[in-house]
Every structure is written in structure tokens, then in C-alpha cells.
Amino acid sequence: RNPLILDTDGGVDDAQALLMLLAHGITPLAITTVFGNVSLEAATRNILDVLSLAKADVPVHMGQSRPLTGAVIDARNIHGEDGLGSAPRPVKAADPSERDGVEFLVTTLSAAARTGTKIDLLMIGPLTNLALALRMAPMISDGIGQLTIMGGTLFGRGNTTPAAEFNIYADPEAAAIVFAADIPTVVAAWEVCSAHAMESDAIDALIEALPGTPLAEFSAHLMLHARKVSFSYGGDGHFRFVDPLAAAAVIEPGLITAVQTHSVDVALAPGLTRGMTLVDPSGRLGTPPVTFIETADIDRLCALFAASAHWTP
Ligand code: BDR
Ligand code: CA
């Protein structure tokens, strides 16, 4: 397996995705943070706190605090004011690295490209850091083995707007740059993620069976927060695999049961469709082919997720 860099905006399901990786023996080489669900500072603090709870020593490099153009948005309505649904924090966590996240990506991926090695990327927030890195050093694409993204829509039904999913809507220009680069890419799109869920009763049973460790209590809090938010938006309280679906695709690629290949571009014009991913199986958009996940084995997803909640570092 290639070394992995995780790029994240530090929300509730980002924390769950990170814990899934760690619990399954995948310790990222480094984590780069980005604005998104919350501010860059809050996202970074959240990730450092998760690493502390998980007793994992991973350098965290802060990336971009704003999109390439336009205003900063967030999703505190979903992830809570602090981005982690006010989950209990460790008393003390490490500080972020002083190294800039984009500079880290440029230097590390350039070195991989030069030496003919590959690093995988898992991106579960806005794509700003990688887009900037690609602008500064286009050859870094040769150093990326596989890029896995949670973002975009496959059927044009978004969560942040009727047409656009949050991670792409937060920085559409960045997403367009990333999709135009020739990088082997797998996408977990919004509608596909939200079609893969762990039922509310199963979440209850999982929480009931958890040990009383600070990490397990933290995980239970995240699950209960997600349910509360689901109910507050008229949802069914089931736990939908969003960032955790992308993480699962990295941990166990075999759990992906069907994919489609598309060329993909991003609508950039202001208006109703801004941030929408346009996909075309016949390649007419002229962008490199991207693999979109269609279905995943829900029993394996639930098993990986449950194991990470039970995990004792
Ligand atoms: C995406 O946006 C964030 O709220 C989630 O963490 C996920 O990355 C879903 O649109
Ligand atoms: Ca995220």
C-alpha cells in the first residue's frame, strides 16, 4: 500500500473517517487541513484532538483558510459550532506543524514524482489545497498513486444547494482544477454516500456495546450528534456514510461493489448550478476519466465503522 496523506476540513464525519483509518492500521503520513465544515483553525484543532484521543502521532499541516475565489462558507449548522458537535475533548493535544499544508503537498508529492514513487491522497473537504499545489507544480500529479475524494454529485442532487454538494460548492474553482488533472481518481459522491446508511437501531446497539473509554465516549457523542442533526432536518436518524465511505474505499477497496467511469467538470458560473459536478460517461467533457463509486457493501461498511468505534488504541 502507498503512504497516505489525508486532507480534511475537520467535521464530525471527518473525525469518524480518520478514526476508521487509524483503527484499521492506516496511519497517514501527514494530515493537511482546510477550511470547510468550520474555519481552518477549528478544523485543525479538531483533527489534533482526534489524534490525541487515538494516541496517534501524525504531523498536521494547516492549508488554506479560504477558497481560491469568493466567500468562505461553513457547515456549522450540521457539525456544530466547534465542528465536532461539542464532543468531549482531550485535555491536551499537540500543536500543528509550522509547515504550510500546500507547501507540504508540493514538496512531498514533487519528491515522489521525481523518485518514481507514489503517495495516495484521501480528500474529504474542499479541494483547495490540492488545487493550489497543482497550480504551483503541475508535475506533482505524477507522484499521486490514487486520489480518493468525497465530493460532488453523480445525479445532480446536492446537499448544500439543490445542485451542489458542500465540498465542491465551497470551492468550485479548486474542484475544476483537480478534476482537470490527470490523476487516478475515485469519487464518493453525495447521493451515493447518503444511500449507504447504518440504521438507527443498529447505532443504538453499537453505542450500547461500547467500552467506557474516552475514545469510545467521543465516538458515541459524534453518532448521537449526527442523529440529532438528522432529526432536526426532518431525517430518519439513520447514520449515512459520507466521509467514512471514502475512508472505507481506501481501507478496503474490495467493498466497492459497482463503479461508473465519467469525465467530470464543475459548473462555475454564478447562479443555481454553481458548484454542480457535471458527469458524462462518454467522455465529452474532455477531462480525464474519474471512477465514481455507485454501490458499496453495506455490511462491510457497518463492520468497519463499528470496529473503529470499539477500537482501543
Ligand atoms: C461533506 O461536507 C461535509 O459536511 C462532510 O464532512 C462531507 O465532507 C458532505 O457534503
Ligand atoms: Ca469533510
pLDDT tens, residue by residue, 261-293: 999 999 999 999 999 999 999 999 999 999 999
> What digits encode the pLDDT tens for the residues 205-257?
999 999 999 999 999 999 999 999 999 999 999 999 999 999 999 999 999 99
Instruction: Tell me, in angstroms, the distance from the centre of ligand 1 to residue 114's CA.
Output: 33
Q: Are 152 and 169 in contact (CB under 8 A)?
A: no
Computed over every residue of the chain, the mean pLDDT equals 97
Torsions phi, psi of 136, nearest 5?
A: -75, -35
DSSP state of 100: B
- ipTM of this predicted structure: 0.96
Question: Which atom of ligand 1 has the smallest separation from the CA of 9?
Answer: 6
pLDDT value for 175: 98
The residue whose CA has the least distance to atom 9 of ligand 1 is 166
Q: What is the pLDDT of residue 93?
A: 85
Convert the pLDDT of each residue in 82-128 to its tens digit: 999 999 988 888 999 999 999 999 999 999 999 999 999 999 999 99
Confidence (pLDDT) at 79: 94
CA distance 285 to 273: 17
> Cβ neighbours of residue 223 under 8 Å, at least 6 residues apart?
203, 206, 207, 239, 309
> Given the CA of residue 160, which atom of ligand 1 is nearest to it?
10
CB-facing half-sphere around the CA of 301: CA atoms within 13 A: 27
Residue 179 has pLDDT above 90, yes or no: yes
- Cα 126 to Cα 168: distance, rounded to the nearest angstrom: 6
Q: Please tell me the distance from the alpha carbon of residue 219 to that of residue 311, in angstroms, as a whole number.
A: 10
Ligand 2: centre distance to CA 11 (Å): 6
- Please give the average per-residue pLDDT across 48-55, as a whole number: 97
d(CA 11, CA 161): 19
